[in-house]
């Protein structure tokens, strides 16, 4: 039996997600918005019976068994951790910091019977599912290089907000780079050991953001990851990622994996391959034809991935008679909160590298930093 759903957020993803959930048979019972007005408008538009601007009203709603959190990164941790504590299943977007991600991991570990997955939908896109399968089957032989390019128009909201602020989780690296970092670990089966990056904010002001306000989040980002553990003789796969969001009117989403005997490349939602020695590229998976809504802010790979993920969620829940129970297998490839922590750790390492100019190690947090650490040190100093 499918669980009742509560949705946090009134942005473009929430707007797309609700119809997808309904199409799969989920009932969406409650919607939370930052203001009563925003919540009321979207609830009316999407036909959701209950709306609120108080988070507890959704979390404690008796018909809500699955909470979907699509809100600004800085608010995500609080809602996600609380939802798990109340005993609700959670699907959520990334948090703003590694510390927040770590707290979410701790909560997820504490409630292993609850579903807790990150909303990175690229893993579910059929092209990437097929790509991973072919990599496992050694279509490219020994993996050498992954090369990713995402070009598109500005990610900034119409008005000044978190998307403009690096510290609030805005910027190409955090927003889009996160999804790519997660995808690359999914495809290669390895994690980054060391990263190097360069971030730039080329457009610091525009027609809407001006005066004393400046954009601090990156609109150009370029990073390299040296993946560990794959046991390759040349020391693992090199990943290079170029993100450029100063390209209005274009959308390029290309993920290429080059290996010793061939290569695979996903362009948008299609997968192509070429083995060394063959004359040309072969189309391995064509576009299935997207019948759903077109969303300006949401590129097709993310949109179709989201749709596939909702289908998997349905399969996961409908396997059980109890509303809150779910089967692991259909969502086994979904990113966990641990994956979320890894991604966030890489994002922060790339940012550090952009400041230091050096390669930075990716060290996953294993215990929460003591918030009183500085205080303790100060006390210690005073004593001596």
Rounded least distance, CB 239 to its own copies, Å: 10
Could you tell me which of 295, 331, 292 has the C-alpha nearest to residue 313? 331
| Nearest alpha-carbon partner for 347 in 59, 20, 100, 60 | 100
Q: Of these, 60, 99, 230, 247, which contacts its own copies (CB under 8 A)?
A: 247
Question: Which residue's CB is nearer to its own copies, number 240 or number 336?
Answer: 240
Size of site (CB under 8 A) for its own copies: 37
Residue (of 73, 294, 67) closest to 175 by Cα position: 73
The least CB distance from residue 176 to its own copies, in Å, is 16
371 part of the interface to its own copies, by CB under 8 A: no
Give least dist CB 202 to its own copies, A.
Answer: 5
274 binding its own copies? (CB under 8 A) = yes
Q: Smaller CB distance to its own copies: residue 152 or 305? A: 152
Number of Cβ atoms within 10 Å of the Cβ of 248: 8
CB count, 10 Å around CB of 344?
28
Kindly state whether residue 220 participates in binding its own copies, applying the rule CB under 8 A. Answer: yes
Which residue in the set 23, 54, 109, 202 belongs to the binding site for its own copies (CB under 8 A)? Answer: 202
Can you tell me the distance from the alpha carbon of 201 to that of 242, in angstroms, rounded to the nearest whole number?
14
Neighbours of 167 (CB within 10 A): 12
Token look-up 């997820």 returns: 108
| Interaction between residue 206 and its own copies (CB under 8 A) | no
CB of 73 to its own copies, least distance (A): 25
Taking alpha carbons only, the member of 196, 192, 173, 226 closest to residue 358 is: 196
Residue with smaller CB distance to its own copies, 106 or 246: 246
346: which 2 tokens?
């890489």
Burial (0-12, 13-18, 19+ Cβ within 10 Å), 190: buried
Beta carbon of residue 301, minimum distance to its own copies (angstroms, whole number): 20
Which of 198, 295, 319, 364 is in the footprint of its own copies by CB under 8 A? 198
Among 78, 242, 315, 336, the residue binding its own copies under the rule CB under 8 A is: 242
**Across the beta sheet with 262-267, what order do the strands follow?**
282-285, 270-275, 262-267, 252-259, 143-151, 238-244, 220-227, 192-200, 360-361
**Based on CB atoms, which residue is closest to its own copies, 8 or 272?**
272
Which one of 159, 234, 366, 380 is in contact with its own copies (CB under 8 A)?
Answer: 234
To its own copies, the closest distance from the beta carbon of 298 in angstroms equals 20
What is the binding site for its own copies (CB under 8 A)? 144-145, 147, 149, 196, 198, 200-204, 220, 222, 224, 233-234, 238, 240, 242, 244, 246-250, 258, 260, 263, 274, 276-280, 357-359
């Amino acid at each position: 039996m499918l669980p009742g759903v509560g949705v946090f957020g009134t942005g473009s993803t929430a707007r797309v997600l609700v119809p997808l959930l309904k199409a799969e048979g989920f009932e969406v019972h409650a919607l939370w918005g930052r203001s009563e007005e925003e919540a009321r408008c979207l609830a009316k538009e999407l036909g959701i019976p209950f709306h609120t601007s108080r988070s507890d009203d959704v979390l404690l709603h008796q018909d809500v068994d699955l909470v979907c959190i699509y809100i600004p990164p800085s608010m995500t941790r609080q809602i996600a951790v609380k939802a798990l504590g109340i005993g609700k299943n959670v699907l959520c977007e990334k948090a703003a910091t590694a510390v927040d991600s770590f707290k979410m991991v701790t909560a997820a570990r504490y409630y292993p019977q609850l579903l807790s997955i990150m909303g990175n939908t690229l893993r579910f896109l059929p092209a990437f599912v097929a790509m991973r399968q072919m990599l496992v089957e050694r279509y490219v032989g020994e993996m050498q290089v992954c090369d990713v390019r995402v070009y598109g128009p500005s990610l900034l909201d119409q008005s000044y907000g978190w998307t403009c602020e690096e510290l609030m989780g805005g910027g190409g690296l955090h927003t889009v780079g996160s999804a790519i970092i997660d995808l690359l670990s999914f495809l290669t089966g390895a994690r980054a050991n060391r990263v190097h990056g360069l971030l730039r904010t080329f457009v610091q002001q525009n027609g809407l953001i001006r005066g004393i306000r400046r954009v601090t989040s990156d609109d150009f980002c370029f990073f390299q990851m040296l993946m560990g553990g794959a046991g390759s003789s040349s020391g693992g796969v090199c990943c290079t990622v170029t993100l450029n969001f100063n390209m209005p009117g274009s959308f390029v989403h290309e993920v290429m994996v080059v290996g010793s005997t061939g290569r695979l490349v996903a362009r948008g939602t299609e997968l192509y391959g070429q083995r060394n020695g063959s004359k040309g590229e072969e189309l391995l998976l064509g576009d299935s034809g997207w019948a759903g809504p077109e969303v300006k802010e949401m590129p097709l790979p993310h949109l179709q991935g989201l749709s596939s993920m909702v289908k998997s969620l349905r399969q996961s829940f409908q396997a059980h008679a109890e509303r809150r129970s779910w089967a692991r297998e259909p969502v086994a490839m979904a990113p966990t909160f641990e994956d979320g922590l890894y991604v966030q750790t890489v994002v922060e390492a790339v940012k550090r590298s952009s400041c230091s100019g050096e390669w930075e190690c990716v060290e996953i947090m294993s215990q929460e930093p003591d918030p009183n650490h500085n205080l303790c040190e100060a006390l210690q100093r005073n004593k001596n």
